[in-house]
Structure 1
Amino acid sequence: MADETPEPRRVGFVGAGRMAEAIAQGLIRAGKVEAKQVLASAPTDKNLCHFRALGCQTTHSNHEVLQNCPLVIFATKPQVLPAVLAEVAPVVTTEHIIVSVAAGISLSSMEELLPPKTRVLRVSPNLPCVVQEGAMVMTRGHHAGNEDAKLLQNLLEACGQCIEVPESYVDIHTGLSGSGVAFVCTFSEALAEGAIKMGMPSDLAHRIAAQTLLGTAKMLQQEGKHPAQLRTDVLTPAGTTIHGLHALEQGGFRAAAMSAVEAATCRAKELSKK
């Protein structure tokens, strides 16, 4: 049976930074919404020019976005989101679906700033949304129903994978996937530098390292194997891979990666409490 989830006629963005642009680009490329039906607001033209280049409508008025769009994605910096929500609260109705991609601002905090029974959802994206390969989790407030969640999930899958989770998982996702982009880049850089040390040209080493990460990730997704199974497929007795893995274990690679996710998650939780 075909997906009968209705698409919103208009989608609004309050805040027009890189993440907002990435999401808008994904929606438009996937045909989820027409460019002319996207309305974005920001205080200056600095970022709005990117939305105009996509064919979207722009404004400097946050109220105008709320007055014209049933679904509005708030992509402001976390420290300014409470003030922005308080500003637009007088024009928010029960017909709106309010979505935040700002880190550290809880659903309950947003609900307190908005009118009673406002439908609020929270999304934690990561940078690969820019290339429509994001890893996102979403969670809903007290008044957002199944259809609201289904609608948002259907839209955001244009930007990658979007999974509904309890709000308690959002900070963990930040440590795993938000900060994880930097961890993976560090590993890719280290792989390439190992090849450079052994005599491979830098540009070639970095290209091959990036492709190795991409290909491995696709295999993990498409074959549905546990990483340990795929790792075993590469191992041969007394071969090159087991010698390399032994060196990684000697360097504490596994523990360091686990500690990195733990440290980033703990920091995300600290920021959420502020």
Structure 2
Amino acid sequence: MQQKILLVGCGKMGSALLEQWNKNIGYHIFVLDPSTKRGYESLASLPVKQFNIIVLAVKPQVMDKVLSELTRRVTSSLYVSIAAGKTLKYLEKNLPPNQAIIRTMPNTPAMVGKGMTVACANALVSSAQKTSIKALFENVGQFEWVADETFMDAVTAVSGSGPAYVFLLIEELAKAGAELGLPADLAMKLARQTVIGSAALAEAQKDIPIETLRKNVTSPGGTTEAALEILTDPRGLSLLIQKAISAASTRSRELS
């Protein structure tokens, strides 16, 4: 029998998952999202009330309300949350007793099958359920389990929020190129393709340390070295990244 998934919330992250799941898996996916109108607009309108998996893809700030309404209307043998900060303990408190629960942190490159998802599970999740969820998220990219839930705030800061940092880098590279006189469209093309190509190279040569790939571009006394002397200054990029990741991790804990 075809397994049934209820995707609750179809915003940016929910849509990214749905895009690939619709292409690659044999599950019957029901979407519940009144704001985007991409599926059913209310719990009452759902033709099915019992699911194999319910994926919670709503913002952390509205999770209390969503769970309160959801648990009165539908049931599932497994709940999977992708909400930043919401801990297994929080979910256990707000879902029915003795419920199998998995907390995950995917990211938006899932939309093109290049995502990264990290997950942890409570003690009631079976080996079969873990296998099923691993396969589900491997349809949108790479997947890792962690036994220690405390890692999830750092995972959120590095990977969950990470695509935004990369997109900001593209913006800033393009802006700097334009300030040096390049046409804006050319500067953006150079910045975008440089990041795309560098990521593809890192993937193709994954056995080579990233540090080595960086050094391969850096000739002594050359242009790259001149730029890296600025970026690697103790008060430069490294410090900014540490502060940014720390801020994101702290915010993830606050959302719990």
The correspondence of residues 228-267 of structure 1 with structure 2, limited to 5 A, is 228-250=211-233, 252-267=236-251
- Greater share of residues in helix: 1
Q: CA deviation at 1:70?
A: 1.0
Q: For 1:271 and 1:88, how far apart are their aligned partners in 2? A: 20
Partner of 2:85: 104
**One-letter code aligned to 1:11:** I
Give the TM-score normalised by the residue count of structure 1: 0.83
Deviation at 1:79, TM superposition (A): 2.2
Match in the other structure for 1:47: 36
Residues 77-128 of structure 1, C-alpha deviations (whole Å, 9 max, x = no match): 21222232233335665x6111111122111111122222211111112222
- 5 Å-filtered alignment, 1:81-92, equals 81-90=63-72
Residue 63 of structure 1: how far off its partner (Å): 8.6
Query: Which moves more between the two structures, 74-83 or 102-111?
Result: 74-83
Partners of 1:104 and 1:205 in 2: how far apart? 37
Structure 2 vs 1, CA of residues 199 and 163 (structure 1 numbering), >3 Å: closer, same or farther? Answer: same
Q: Residue in 2 aligned with 1:130?
A: 111
Give the Cα separation in 1 of the matches to 2:255 and 2:104.
16
Identity of aligned residues (%): 30
- The 3-state SS of whatever aligns with 1:38 is strand
Tell me if 1:33 matches 2:26: yes
Matched to 1:47, the amino acid is T
Aligned equivalents of 1:146 and 1:41: distance in 2? Answer: 28
- Alignment deviations for residues 43-68 of structure 1 (CA, whole Å, 9 cap, x no partner): x3x4123x5xxxxxx35116947724
Hey, what does 1:61 align to over in structure 2? 43
- 1:175 matched residue in structure 2: 157
Q: 8 Å contact 1:8–1:71 — kept in the other structure?
A: no
Seen in structure 2, the aligned counterparts of structure 1 residues 107 and 269 have a Cα distance that, compared at 3 Å, is same
More displaced stretch, 135-144 vs 247-256: 247-256
**TM-align CA RMSD:** 2.3
Change (3 A) 1:88 1:163: same
Of 178, 186, 195, which aligns to 1:196? 178
Separation in 1, partners of 2:119, 2:247: 22
Rounded to whole Å, the distance in 1 between the matches of 2:244 and 2:2 is 39
Tell me if 1:219 matches 2:208.
Answer: no
SS at match of 1:24: helix
Question: Partners of 1:209 and 1:223 in 2: how far apart?
Answer: 21
**Contact (CA 8 Å) 2:60, 2:255: kept in 1 or not?**
no
After superposing on structure 2, the runs of 4+ consecutive aligned residues of structure 1 that deviate more than 6 Å are none
More divergent stretch after superposition (63-72 vs 173-182): 63-72
Please give the alpha-carbon distance, in whole angstroms, between the structure 2 residues aligned to 1:85 and 1:79: 12
Taking a change above 3 Å as real, the CA distance of residues 86 and 66 of structure 1, as seen in their structure-2 partners, is farther
Letter in 1 for 2:15: E
- CA change 1:33–1:21 in 2 (3 A) is farther
Contact 1:63/1:91 (<8 A) preserved:
no
Equivalent AA in structure 2 for residue 102 of structure 1: A
Aligned equivalents of 2:95 and 2:175: distance in 1?
51
Equivalent residue, structure 1, for 2:121: 140
Counterparts of 1:237 and 1:100, CA distance in 2: 48
Partner of 1:113: 94
CA deviations 1:189-220 (Å, max 9, x no partner) are 22122222222211111122111112212222
Please, what TM-score do these two structures have when normalized by structure 2? 0.88
Task: Note the residue ranges of structure 1 that are not aligned, 5 or more in a row.
Answer: 1-6, 52-57
Q: Structure 2: 5+ residue runs without aligned partners? A: none
